[in-house]
Chain A
Amino acid sequence: MTALTDLSLLEAASALRKGDVSSVELTETCLERIDALEPQLHAFLAQTPDLAISQAKVADQRLQKWRKKPEEPLPLTHGIPVAIKDVLCLEGVPTTCGSRILEDFRPPYSATSVARLIDTGAVVLGKTNTDEFAMGSSTENSAYGTTHNPWDLDRVPGGSSGGSAAAVAARMCFAALGTDTGGSVRQPASFCGITGLKTSYGRISRYGLIAYGSSLDTVGALTRSAADLLPIFTAMAGHDPLDSTCMPDPVPEIHLDGSNLRGIRIGVPKEYFIEGIQDEVEAAVRSAVTVFEALGAEIQEVSLPHTDLALPVYYLIAPAEASANLARYDAVRFGPRLKSDRLWDQYLKTRGELFGPEVKRRIMLGTYALSAGYYDAYYGQAQKVRTLIKDDFETVFEDVDLIACPVAPTTAFRIGEHGDDPLAMYLEDIFTLPANLAGVPGMAFPVGFDLHDLPVGMQLNAPHLGETALFRAVHAYQTQTDWHLRKPDI
């Protein structure tokens, strides 16, 4: 018999509907697996077993009633155990952003994305580890320790949503929420061999997402397949009056029925196959492209000529926005306070000691890029080059429906491999940053394994608000391949 935690989200939803399993049983099985694996993986920053069981009991009661009236709509996420990245607020539950400056912070309200998911009957198992304030590509910047990759415990799970990725890959939960500012959903999904969606900027409310780079931040999700992702996306997407950047456009009704991609044009950008990309990554991505071709898609080479400028643009704009957003940590309204006799000294001391090295680095970089005399040369120029990067995508999307490219130049790297070299770590993001700068959605999914048995991922990007095409294409690919069904031996 298949272990309950090996069921896909959709299989679990179907079993719940039939009454083959209860939400409490599913939840208890996940909690047991978390207990067993957490000492090795450290995917969670807070566990909420009591909340989970009480939510599961309510879900079971609702399911009992529903079975008498099965014609009534019931979301597929109903009764499904999930995990939440620790940058998204959940009322009353510790939310730290992986930072000591928010140690013991209990939000007085929930993020819209989280509240909407819970409203569908989803069960929350806990909050997952992240690089501090989502600044990083490995979870090594978490103040509470690194998450380990379930495929190889000596390696990082990617980041910043590394706790979410490890939890989904290790079957601790059926889905997890993540956020993607520069690749933080897609890169860990790739490193952990799962499927991750970075939504279009403005598709899902940012209300209650603790801000990092406000013009780049997006809420996303990680699951084991595109089909499993869909109900999570549907639960969260759509306008929210509490976020004025959340688009009023209706959320599309997406049906995943079929694997025919005839008439879909997929562009492969030549700038993404550069020196330094691991051979097996390039080979697996190119091989996946032939699968799309066999499914009926038309493949053509395209050019995004400003791709190599995305890295410096991102690492000026994101830190600039972060330096403004993180000014709120003043030890007055929330967070621990390192006491001093003068308010000024209290700011300096609390912020200097409780922010980690990467966060301080980005705050200073952003402060400098915004400071008098340097604004035009750095921040202003970065915003202009951002326009060129955005225009690249708009031009290419006149000719193709989707862009196919690698997620990261390599598979999961070793814990500690990048040491104290920030630039080496920033290079991990070169293939994921452009989508954030352009605001377009992307989906990462597994397309093979390297010689060390580590998963290789690739991504598709679509035009702004074009999530439907992503779901259809990745689902079609996953009907023809079984990379997404492989699981780590843990």
Chain B
Amino acid sequence: MSLTVDEVRHIANLARLQLTPEEEHRYAQQLSSILESAARLREVDTTQIPPTATVLPLRAPLRPDVPRPCLPREKILSNAPETEAGMFRVPPVLE
């Protein structure tokens, strides 16, 4: 399994990562060799095997749905790079 630079560009875009051309080439090569080493997984017969999404033996219990105080707004906003009028400020999404 080998990834082309175009495929790496596509994946990086899906993951919202801007890469330099040098990074695109390096990752194409490195991701290809990692995927190659994973190829032997396909040889394992798993037709009768269910997937494991969690190791927990039982479904975890739900806590009672009781309202409780949440963190104050200023605390939540305190780490934001930009705020305005008690909200997160972002560049325009629609032009």
| Alpha-carbon distance A377/B11, docked complex (angstroms) | 17
Contact of B62 among A244, A341, A384, A422 (CB under 8 A): A244
Answer whether A355 and B71 are a contact pair too, CB < 8 Å, given A381-B41, A385-B44.
no
Chain A, residues 298-342, CB within 8 Å of chain B (1/0): the string is 000000000001011101100000010001001111111101111
Task: Point out the residues of chain A lying under 8 angstroms from B34, CB to CB.
Answer: 315, 361, 365, 422-423, 426
| Alpha-carbon distance A10/B9, docked complex (angstroms) | 55
Task: Point out the residues of chain B lying under 8 angstroms from A201, CB to CB.
Answer: 55-56
Residue of A nearest to B44 (CB): A385
Task: Point out the residues of chain B lying under 8 angstroms from A105, CB to CB.
Answer: 79
Chain A binding site: helix, strand, loop or mixed by DSSP? helix
Answer whether A108 and B76 are a contact pair too, CB < 8 Å, given A341-B91, A343-B90, A364-B11.
yes
Q: How far is the CB of A278 from chain B (nearest CB, A)?
A: 22
Contact between chains at B61 and A371 (CB < 8 Å): no
Q: Bin the interface of chain B by size.
A: 35 or more
Contact between chains at B71 and A108 (CB < 8 Å): yes
Chain B, residues 15-31, CB within 8 Å of chain A (1/0): the string is 11111000100110011
Contact between chains at A333 and B80 (CB < 8 Å): yes
Contact between chains at A390 and B52 (CB < 8 Å): yes
Contact between chains at A383 and B51 (CB < 8 Å): yes
Task: Point out the residues of chain A lying under 8 angstroms from B41, CB to CB.
Answer: 309, 312-313, 316, 378, 381-382, 385
Task: Point out the residues of chain A lying under 8 angstroms from B17, CB to CB.
Answer: 348, 351-352, 355, 360, 363-364
B85 at the interface (CB under 8 A from A): no
Task: Point out the residues of chain B lying under 8 angstroms from A351, CB to CB.
Answer: 15-18
In B8-66, the 8 Å CB interface with A consists of 8, 11-19, 23, 26-27, 30-31, 33-35, 37-38, 40-42, 44, 46, 49-57, 60-63
| Alpha-carbon distance A43/B35, docked complex (angstroms) | 34
| Alpha-carbon distance A246/B53, docked complex (angstroms) | 15
Contact between chains at B80 and A464 (CB < 8 Å): no
Answer whether A108 and B75 are a contact pair too, CB < 8 Å, given A312-B41, A382-B41, A388-B49.
yes
- Chain A: residues with CB nearer than 8 A to chain B? 105-106, 108-109, 201-202, 215, 241, 244-248, 309, 311-313, 315-316, 323, 327, 330-337, 339-343, 346-349, 351-353, 355, 357, 360-361, 363-365, 367-368, 371, 377-378, 380-388, 390, 420, 422-423, 426, 437-439, 464
Could you list 16 A-B pairs, sorted by A, with CB under 8 Å? A106-B79, A244-B63, A312-B38, A323-B15, A332-B90, A335-B79, A342-B92, A360-B17, A368-B35, A382-B38, A384-B46, A384-B51, A387-B49, A387-B52, A388-B46, A390-B52
- Chain B: residues with CB nearer than 8 A to chain A? 3, 8, 11-19, 23, 26-27, 30-31, 33-35, 37-38, 40-42, 44, 46, 49-57, 60-63, 71, 75-76, 78-82, 88, 90-93
